[in-house]
Amino acid sequence: MTTRLRGVLAILLVPFAESGEIDWPAYEREVDFCLGAGVHGIVVPAVASEFYALEADERRELFARLADRVGGRLPLVAGVSAPHWRAAQALARHAATLGASAVMAMPPYVGHIHKPGVEAIRAHFDAIAQAGLPIVYQNSDTLASASLPVERIAQILDEIPAIRYLKEEGVAAPQRMGALAPLVHEHGVGLIGGTGGTHLIAEADRGCVAWMPAAEFSDILAMIVESLWRGERTLAWERYRALLPALVLENLLGMVWAKAVLRRRGVFTSIAMRSPAPAWGEGETADLDRVWPDLSALWAQRPSRP
């Protein structure tokens, strides 16, 4: 598909029951929440979705249910990161049959054993490219993968033309984006921001065209981005500053925080996770209480959506 990715592309968290099974009614509420939030696209499953804790059949069903519920109203990105190209390619081909606009992948990862070199990365992404979809290269500092230096990214973009977007979320991401901007412009590649939108305005100033935050504040982030698009920079800064304490808490606590916000917003009923997460207790609830008035004030500014 030729749909251009831009704006806020919300990453769906996967809601789990306390038993560890996927809570499908909550998942459908989350999709509807994103549609009502005014996001510009939706992504699943990614790191925020705990993709590494999902079975292959679950990953396919998550994307299939998303595509069915959205019905072509928004661009959809399928996360296909996997340790081996066969699994990543199969997920990408499945997404293509369901009308995905793009797929997103990290390099092949077995992070505690070795970091893949450029040849291994090229082979991995060449296999994913066989699905015929644009690829978002996720350049991330995680236990599963490591962000590549600028010169290696240049080599990869030269050798893998199917990579049409670079999601940059390594250390000092805005500064890296500034260094990468001439390179991606030369290749016609779009820059995408991560880390929950924590550096959104600094990244926009350095040429970022899209962001992939977890879903819980995607409506506020969409307002900020649209303010920037309209040239309302002072308003964008005011909204960003009001949201920033909540984004700092997300970076501190991870996806259990995002799930707790979605629970309070009536989307999720549980904050259960399959992957290890910080315990949620009275202190975390107090943190959420502390930022809630500012968040509520931001939600009150939301334009009505059809």
Q: Is the pLDDT of residue 210 over 70?
A: yes
**Tally of helices (H runs) and strands (E runs) in the chain:** 11, 8
Q: Are 83 and 110 in contact (CB under 8 A)?
A: yes
Mean pLDDT of 18-39: 96
Burial label, 138 (beta-carbon count in 10 A; 0-12, 13-18, 19+): buried
**How confident is residue 85, by pLDDT bands cut at 50, 70 and 90?**
very high
Between 26 and 171, where is the model more confident?
26
Phi–psi pair at 4, nearest 5 degrees: -90, 130
Provide the token pair at 74.
Answer: 């928004």
The span from the CA of 73 to the CA of 125, in Å, is 28
Between 147 and 30, where is the model more confident?
30
The span from the CA of 278 to the CA of 53, in Å, is 16
Q: Are 215 and 10 in contact (CB under 8 A)?
A: yes
Residue 45: asked if its preceding bond is cis (omega within 30°), the reply is: yes
248-270: pLDDT as tens digits: 999 999 999 999 999 999 999 99
Q: Is the pLDDT of residue 167 over 70?
A: yes
The span from the CA of 94 to the CA of 87, in Å, is 11
Between 109 and 206, where is the model more confident?
206
- Residue 13, CA distances (Å) to 54, 206, 214 in order: 12, 28, 7
Q: In whole numbers, what is the pLDDT of the chain averaged over residues?
A: 91
Q: Is the pLDDT of residue 143 over 50?
A: no
Domain ranges of the chain: 7-299
**How confident is residue 59, by pLDDT bands cut at 50, 70 and 90?**
very high
The CATH class of 7-299 is alpha beta
What is the pTM assigned to this prediction?
A: 0.93
Q: Which of 281, 243, 273, 289 is nearest to 54 (CA)?
A: 273
- Residue 78, CA distances (Å) to 59, 137, 181, 187, 252 in order: 9, 12, 25, 23, 26
Share in percent of the chain as helix, strand, coil (round to 5): 50, 15, 35
Nearest 5°: the CA angle 39, 44, 45 is 150
Element at 164 (helix H, strand E): strand 163-169
